């Protein structure tokens, strides 16, 4: 094949990753017909199909698996050259791909984006908000430069740097504001609303309440902290949210916020990046900037400790 391009390799990687032409095109910032045409041109040049197509699924063929493996090697090598160039220029500049978990992104990013712009005016910030397993996958594959997530992650190929420790708070209906604050065991007997499976915050809340994560919880899960708080306001149950989310999520909800007196559930927010990244030294400096933005903020409608 004489005219293979890096763009085509990235399209193959994206389509294999998303398993959907539309989603892959969106991730590559191109139209679906443009991506489809490039994939088709590659297949015609190879004389072999790279993907099996059906109305519901797009899967790699055996030959496609081989091509994808080689494509990843090539793309990671090209990205490494780009990282080396950025590091050699003596600071962070150009594209910076930052991943953030959903229970941090809405509350931290408004504070940190402006601060990053002041300290690093030459960067072009690209943000990806997704769950921890996908962030770790993208970090390992070189699709992200760094990520902000809950620690520990215990991945030997990644450097993890703690930034901030924050408490969880209890959100309950206004009618319960004067009741004693329950401990973890008492919470396990209440109608506890949690994020859906896949969120690390869900697992942390379950751990505090000593609830096994594999127990069925039909009708008690939400897709966002905002949904959970609004459900509490409607009188459906109680929930836990991180301290940084209190001000934003309680603005339009008739709820009470209570803090735990003993055995307070906590989480550690940190940054992670590949140990082998040429940008590692600069990312450590960036972590200091993010740490400043994560300094505690006053919470809205706080209830005194019971």
Range in 39-43, 94-98, 262-266, 301-305 the model is least confident about: 301-305
Bigger pLDDT: 263 or 26? 26
In tens, the pLDDT along 171-193 reads: 999 989 889 988 888 888 888 89
3-state secondary structure string across the chain: CCCCCHHHHHHHHHHHHHCCHHHHHHHCCCCHHHHHHHHHHHHHHHCCCCEEECCCCEEECHHHHHHHHHHHHHHHHHHHHHHHHHHHCCCCCEEEEEEECCCCHHHHHHHHHHHHHHHCCCEEEEEEECCHHHHHHHHHCCCCCEEEEEECCCCCCEEEEEEEEEEEEEEEEHHHCCCCCCCHHHHCCCCEEEECCCCHHHHHHHHHCCCCCCCCCCCCEECCHHHHHHHHHCCCCEEEEEHHHHHHHCCCCCEEEECCCCCCCEEEEEEEEECCCCCHHHHHHHHHHHHHHCCCCCCCCECCCC
Residue 173's nearest CA partner among 118, 228, 108, 130 is 228
Plot region of 235 (φ>0 → left; ψ -120 to 50 → alpha; else → beta): left
**Tokens representing 149?**
């997530």
Tell me what pLDDT residue 296 has. 56
Region 280-305: mean pLDDT is: 71
The tokens describing 137, both together, are 């996958």
Asked whether the predicted pLDDT for residue 272 surpasses 80, the reply is: yes
User: Where is pLDDT greater, at 161 or 222?
Assistant: 161
Look up residue 184 and give its two tokens.
């973890």
Distance CA 8, CA 57 (A): 20
| Confidence band of 304 (pLDDT split at 50, 70, 90) | very low
Residue 302: the pLDDT is: 42
What is the overall mean pLDDT for the chain? Answer: 86
| 59-77 mean pLDDT | 89
Give me the residues paired with residue 164 across strands: 269
Question: Does the structure show a pLDDT above 50 at 298?
Answer: no
Per the model's pLDDT, the better-predicted residue between 213 and 21 turns out to be: 21
Q: Residue 182: which of 300, 266, 261 has the closest Cα?
A: 261
Q: Output the pTM of the full model.
A: 0.73
Q: Rounded CA gap, 197 and 110, in Å?
A: 26
- Give the residue with greater pLDDT, 40 vs 199: 40
CB neighbour list of residue 278: distance below 8 Å, 6 or more residues apart: 80, 83, 84, 86, 87
Rounded CA gap, 135 and 54, in Å?
Answer: 28
pLDDT of residue 86 exceeding 70, the answer is no
Query: Which range in 9-23, 201-215, 219-233, 290-304 is most confidently predicted, on average pLDDT?
Result: 9-23
Domains of the chain: 6-85 (1.10.10.10), 91-164+267-293 (3.40.190.10), 167-265 (3.40.190.10)
User: How much is the average pLDDT of 11-15?
Assistant: 92
* Count of beta carbons in the 10 Å neighbourhood of residue 274: 22
């Amino acid at each position: 094949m004489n005219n293979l391009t890096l763009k085509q390799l990235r399209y193959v990687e994206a389509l294999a990753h998303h398993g959907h032409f539309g989603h892959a095109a969106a991730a590559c910032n191109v139209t679906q017909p443009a991506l489809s045409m490039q994939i088709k041109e590659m297949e015609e040049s190879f004389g072999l199909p790279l993907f099996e197509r059906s109305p519901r699924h797009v899967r790699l063929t055996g030959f496609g698996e081989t091509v994808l493996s080689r494509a990843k090697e090539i793309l990671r090598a090209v990205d490494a050259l780009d990282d080396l160039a950025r590091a050699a220029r003596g600071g962070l500049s150009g594209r910076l791909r930052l991943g953030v978990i959903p229970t941090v992104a809405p509350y931290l990013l408004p504070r940190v984006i402006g601060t990053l712009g002041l300290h690093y005016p030459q960067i072009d910030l690209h943000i990806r908000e997704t769950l921890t397993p996908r962030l770790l996958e993208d970090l390992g594959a070189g699709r992200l430069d760094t990520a902000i997530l809950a620690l520990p992650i215990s991945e030997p190929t990644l450097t993890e740097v703690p930034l901030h420790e924050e408490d969880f708070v209890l959100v309950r209906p206004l009618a319960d504001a004067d009741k004693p604050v329950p401990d973890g065991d008492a919470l396990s007997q209440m109608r506890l609303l949690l994020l859906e499976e896949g969120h690390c915050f869900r697992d942390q809340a379950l751990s505090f309440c000593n609830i096994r994560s594999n127990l069925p919880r039909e009708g008690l899960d939400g897709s966002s902290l905002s949904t959970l708080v609004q459900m509490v306001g409607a009188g459906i149950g109680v929930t836990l949210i991180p301290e940084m989310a209190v001000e934003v999520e309680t603005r339009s909800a008739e709820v009470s916020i209570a803090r735990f007196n003993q055995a307070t559930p906590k989480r550690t927010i940190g940054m992670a990046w590949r140990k082998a990244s040429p940008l590692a030294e600069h990312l450590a400096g960036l972590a200091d900037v993010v740490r400043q933005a994560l300094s505690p903020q006053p919470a809205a409608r706080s209830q005194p400790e019971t």
